């Protein structure tokens, strides 16, 4: 520690017991734990929602198939209303699936964040490791290789080249929005 950092003290702790690396690790572990707990809480609810949408989609297709077998009579208003309702259900299920794809994408991002935080903590926990440029370069390579979405890799590259968080997010959003316009599904995500 340099003289400026060694003069900082925390009430109730001696200077010898206090270390900014230890404090940083504690905060990183806390952040990682909060993200992990949120993801685990969402998993069960998301699975229930996913299963419900699959069931609704199957029931809607069955209704449509059965409606096509009904022989029209003089008053087709009820039959047309049923067909319209079945089509509306299908449309809403498709919108729900798109929302689930966004949830899945966000879960992937959060998994990448917790994994990266864990790796950073591992390096910071050992002075030999955090003073080694090779360890940091290996960490950066591992983090970049873990990304499955092109937009994540692009943001990573810009941050590593010195872009501010705001600049990297602007680049990310620009490229994400462009990709969304070219392909309604965004990054390749298979949900079901």
24-80 pLDDT, tens per residue? 888 888 888 888 887 777 777 888 888 888 899 888 888 888 888 887 777 778 888
Rounded to an integer, what distance in angstroms lies between the CA atom of residue 66 and that of residue 21?
66
Residue 94: half-sphere exposure toward Cβ, Cα within 13 Å: 9
Phi, psi of 7 (to 5 degrees): -85, -10
User: Are the CB atoms for 160 and 140 separated by under 8 Å?
Assistant: yes
pLDDT at 82: 86
Write down the pLDDT at residue 183: 57
Tokens of 102: 């966004």
- Predicted pLDDT of residue 15: 58
Q: What angle do CA 135, 141, 145 make, to 5 degrees?
A: 145
pLDDT at 124: 85
- CA neighbor of 81 nearest in space, from 63, 58, 55, 56: 63
Q: Would you say 172 and 154 are in contact if contact means Cβ atoms under 8 Å apart?
A: yes
Q: List pLDDT tens digits, range 89-146.
A: 988 898 888 888 888 888 888 888 888 888 888 888 888 888 889 999 999 999 999 8
């Amino acid at each position: 520690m340099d003289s400026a950092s060694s003069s900082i003290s925390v009430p109730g702790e001696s200077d010898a017991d206090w270390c900014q690396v230890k404090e940083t690790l504690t905060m990183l572990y806390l952040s990682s734990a909060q993200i992990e707990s949120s993801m685990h809480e969402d998993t069960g609810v998301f699975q229930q929602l996913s299963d419900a949408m699959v069931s609704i989609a199957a029931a809607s297709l069955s209704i449509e198939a059965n409606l096509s077998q009904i022989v029209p009579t003089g008053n087709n208003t009820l039959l047309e209303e049923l067909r319209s309702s079945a089509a509306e259900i299908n449309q809403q299920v498709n919108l729900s699936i798109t929302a689930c794809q966004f949830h899945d994408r966000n879960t992937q991002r959060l998994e990448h964040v917790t994994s990266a935080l864990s790796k950073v903590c591992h390096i910071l926990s050992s002075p030999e490791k955090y003073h080694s440029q090779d360890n940091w370069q290996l960490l950066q390579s591992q983090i970049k290789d873990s990304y499955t979405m092109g937009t994540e890799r692009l943001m990573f590259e810009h941050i590593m080249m010195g872009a501010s968080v705001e600049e990297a997010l602007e680049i990310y959003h620009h490229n994400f929005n462009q990709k969304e316009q070219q392909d309604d599904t965004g990054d390749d995500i298979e949900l079901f």
